[in-house]
Amino acid sequence: MNPHFSRCMTLIFAMLVTITAQAQDAMKSAADDAQQKQPLGQVIRDKDRAVQTFDEHIVILSSPFMEGRLPGTAGMERAKDYMQEHFEASGLMTVFPTEQEGELSYRQVFPLGVSGTMVDQSLVAETGKARMEFELGSDFQMTGMGSDGDASGQLVFVGYAVGDGPDGYMSFDEDLDLEGKIALVLRFEPMDGEGRSLWSGSNDWTDAATFMNKISQLEKLGPEAVILVNTPGADDPRIRSLIKSSGQDTDEFPFFHMSTDAADRLVRSADRDGRTLMDLRRMADEQGTVISFDDTVVSLGGTMVNEQIEAENVGGLLSGRGELADQYIVIGGHLDHLGMGEFGSREGPGKLHPGADDNASGSIAVLMLADSLAQSYEDLPEDQDLRSIIFIGFSAEESGLNGSRWYADNPPRDIEDHVLMINFDMIGRVRDNKASISGTGTGTGLGGIVDPIAEKSELDITVRGNAGGGSDHISFLRKQVPILSGGSGGHADYHTSKDTSDMINREGAADIIDTFHEIALAAAMHPERFEFTQGQSQQRNTRPSVRLGVRINRDAENENGVTIRSVAEGGPAAQAGIMAGDVITSWNGEKIPAGTRGLQRLMMNAKPGDTVEILLLRDGREESVTVTLQARPG
């Protein structure tokens, strides 16, 4: 890395900010209680140095130059370089082992998973009235949520694919058999005439609308493939786009996405009664609806070409001293965001998602605390006992806490020597001078440190004993490391293109950072160890983090285990020599019960890179294979 890269970039952006800020005379100062408008440049110049520093960082990290900080993009590489240079400037030491014995790095490399590119995609329907060939990109898109491969079968409309909704609502009976069928599924959930949820009581959707829940219900029915339809009339901007990729939720069937217009053409041609897609939606809004289009056969397919990808955490060490030097505090926040919104967006892909609050703001807290705490360590007496602190910007948090989970499983120092983790996720939207600190109940003595500091803070801080949230601190709770997390609360711009730097309360964020400086310094000097007292290890999701690369044959009942229906080319199972028709009977010596749930439970306890001894039956003979598990994409 060019050592002058980030410094030059900072100077360039500082000049741009100075020029453009003076023209923004309509910007509102979040710190101005009178809501008066004045140029941003003047507002910043009137604040103290901490606010100015935060402003410089937030403009850069959420700029288009960082491309939304999606792992694997050039923008994320720039963001990592930016963070590393500031760690170096603060005097932090390298901390992560490298492949070269005795050499350390600021980067912790970890496998992020497999990047999939879909090729040879097609979707054709024979309706009895016409042959319909649909256009890739405008009419349909194969997604990464299912398996690849070809499928063909009779088209069956299954409504919203809700298994157990309010007031007994069910899209279909549990005994519905979709073997050999292609399921046509509406996106979201039953809605009113305005296209809003009938169940949430707000503009949001309930959990029943999630892809994961729909797929979970459909897995029980065994379809050959699923076509998700953008529901006509839904009050949600995502109905105007197609999902190109997403985290894989099932190996059971291909999962395609179809536009509203294309699906309407398909329904009009397939339905003998001349109904439209909107007609079917209205039926499904009232009650569970299943319609078999007896004269319509859909054939679809595509192949996923996978490439192993890696990501990096960026971290540096502030060495402690004396009796506490061998105990470690981690101060972290995730550096990554959503790029152009290809996954995780609440408004769909195609626009830059700057991620100013989520989580450029938290990353800046890590940067500024690295600098201020390094200075405090230097100013304290040499005989002052101090814990060591590892400052870290995690990667791939948005796709499942991947970076922090890898760190917790592969720490540069023994995890037993980690006594506290402080996490920052979204500290930039302080409103009415309010902020929060969570986690004081996870370690002995934390409340005694946090409470008096919070009470004298410039902010109105709510202190909570529970861990709260679903961010990177969860990975440390899983290892029984006490945590503290700071935040300013959620907002409507979360995971949208509107999470921009002009919406950030610089002064409020700087006050949070200042408060946590005092907390971290007090924790570093605290003579007694913070003993773990409660584990609130909430999981971001309930699907395995690993991929085996097989589809299970649900119809082949076998009391000895699970029967493999197909094997994904290039996947872990294929590389180990597992074949279609094999019966998996044992996983690392543990017998697998019949059905997919037992296998899924075992996979939930595994992590990417694990090797598993699998016993299987093939043509009546028992064989043993070793499988190296891959990270689930996305």
Q: What is the CATH number of the domain that holds 223?
A: 3.50.30.30
Name the pLDDT band for 419 (thresholds 50, 70, 90). Answer: very high
Name the pLDDT band for 19 (thresholds 50, 70, 90). Answer: very low
| Amino acid found at 404 | S
DSSP code of residue 360: I
Average pLDDT over residues 506-533: 97
This prediction has a pTM of: 0.60
Domain shared by 358 and 438, yes or no: yes
Domain shared by 359 and 474, yes or no: yes
Residues ≥6 apart with Cβ < 8 Å to 247: 144, 145, 343, 399, 400, 543, 632, 633, 634
Average pLDDT over residues 539-560: 64
Percent of the chain with pLDDT over 70: 87
Q: Measure the CA–CA gap between 569 and 255, rounded to whole angstroms.
A: 17
Q: Residue 463's beta-bridge partner residues?
A: 437
Domain shared by 300 and 324, yes or no: no
Q: How is residue 469 written in tokens?
A: 């949230």
Name the pLDDT band for 539 (thresholds 50, 70, 90). Answer: very low
> Do the Cβ atoms of 336 and 398 come closer than 8 Å?
yes
Of 525, 555, 580, the one marking the end of a domain is 525
Of 476, 495, 525, the one marking the end of a domain is 525
- CA distances (Å), origin 240, targets 184, 279, 348: 18, 19, 8
Q: Measure the CA–CA gap between 577 and 626, rounded to whole angstroms.
A: 9
Burial of 378 (0-12, 13-18, 19+ CB in 10 A): exposed
In this prediction, residue 559 carries a pLDDT of: 63
In this prediction, residue 543 carries a pLDDT of: 58
Domain shared by 296 and 323, yes or no: no
Average pLDDT over residues 12-25: 41
Average pLDDT over residues 109-127: 88
Q: Measure the CA–CA gap between 254 and 148, rounded to whole angstroms.
A: 5
Average pLDDT over residues 175-190: 96
Q: Does 359 reside within a domain?
A: yes
Burial of 567 (0-12, 13-18, 19+ CB in 10 A): buried
Specify the 3-state DSSP secondary structure of 144.
coil
- In this structure, what is the dihedral angle of CA atoms 342, 345, 346, 349, given to the nearest 10 degrees? -30
DSSP code of residue 426: -
DSSP code of residue 355: -
Q: Does 64 reside within a domain?
A: yes
Q: Does 19 reside within a domain?
A: yes
Residue 464: its H or E element? strand 460-464
In this prediction, residue 215 carries a pLDDT of: 94
Domain shared by 157 and 278, yes or no: yes
- The CATH code of the domain that includes 619 is 2.30.42.10
Residue appearing with tokens 């030491």 = 93
> Do the Cβ atoms of 426 and 357 come closer than 8 Å?
yes
Residue appearing with tokens 């773990």 = 532
> Do the Cβ atoms of 62 and 362 come closer than 8 Å?
no
Q: What is the per-residue pLDDT across 392-404, written as a single tens digit (0 to 9) for each? A: 999 999 988 999 9
In this prediction, residue 21 carries a pLDDT of: 43
489: phi then psi, degrees, rounded to nearest 5: 100, 165
- Tell me how many domains the chain contains: 3
In this prediction, residue 41 carries a pLDDT of: 57
Q: Measure the CA–CA gap between 146 and 149, rounded to whole angstroms.
A: 10
pLDDT at 111 over 60: yes
Domain shared by 372 and 436, yes or no: yes
Name the pLDDT band for 484 (thresholds 50, 70, 90). Answer: very high
Beta pairing, strands 483-487 & 434-438:
antiparallel
- Spell out the alpha helix ranges (H) of 381-504: 402-409, 446-455, 473-477
Q: Does 537 reside within a domain?
A: no
Domain shared by 121 and 81, yes or no: no
- Spell out the alpha helix ranges (H) of 5-73: 5-21, 40-45, 49-61
Q: Does 540 reside within a domain?
A: no
Of 259, 283, 306, the one marking the end of a domain is 306
Q: Does 311 reside within a domain?
A: no
Q: Does 299 reside within a domain?
A: yes
> Do the Cβ atoms of 84 and 1 come closer than 8 Å?
yes
Q: How far is CA 377 from the centre of its chain?
A: 35
Q: Does 267 or 589 have the greater pLDDT score?
A: 267
Closest Cα partner for 142 from 258, 19, 15?
258
Average pLDDT over residues 141-146: 90
Domain shared by 41 and 185, yes or no: no
Backbone torsion region of residue 402, taken as left when φ is above 0, otherwise alpha when ψ lies between -120 and 50, otherwise beta: alpha
Domain shared by 183 and 277, yes or no: yes
Q: Does 480 reside within a domain?
A: yes
Q: What angle do CA 196, 198, 200 make, to 5 degrees?
A: 85
Beta pairing, strands 621-628 & 611-618:
antiparallel
pLDDT at 27 over 50: no
Name the pLDDT band for 561 (thresholds 50, 70, 90). Answer: confident
Domain shared by 276 and 140, yes or no: yes
Domain shared by 28 and 163, yes or no: no
Name the pLDDT band for 380 (thresholds 50, 70, 90). Answer: very high
- CA distances (Å), origin 533, targets 209, 349, 444, 536: 36, 42, 7, 10
Domain with 44 in it: 5-93+319-525
Q: What is the per-residue pLDDT across 234-291, written as a single tens digit (0 to 9) for each? A: 999 889 989 876 667 788 999 999 999 999 999 999 999 999 999 999 999 999 999 9
The string of DSSP codes covering 576-595 is HT--TT-EEEEETTEEPPSS
In this prediction, residue 595 carries a pLDDT of: 55
Closest Cα partner for 127 from 274, 295, 267, 300?
295
Backbone torsion region of residue 291, taken as left when φ is above 0, otherwise alpha when ψ lies between -120 and 50, otherwise beta: beta
Name the pLDDT band for 70 (thresholds 50, 70, 90). Answer: very high
- The CATH code of the domain that includes 27 is 3.40.630.10
Specify the 3-state DSSP secondary structure of 340.
coil
Domain shared by 183 and 324, yes or no: no
Q: How far is CA 44 from the centre of its chain?
A: 33
Q: How is residue 422 written in tokens?
A: 């402080």
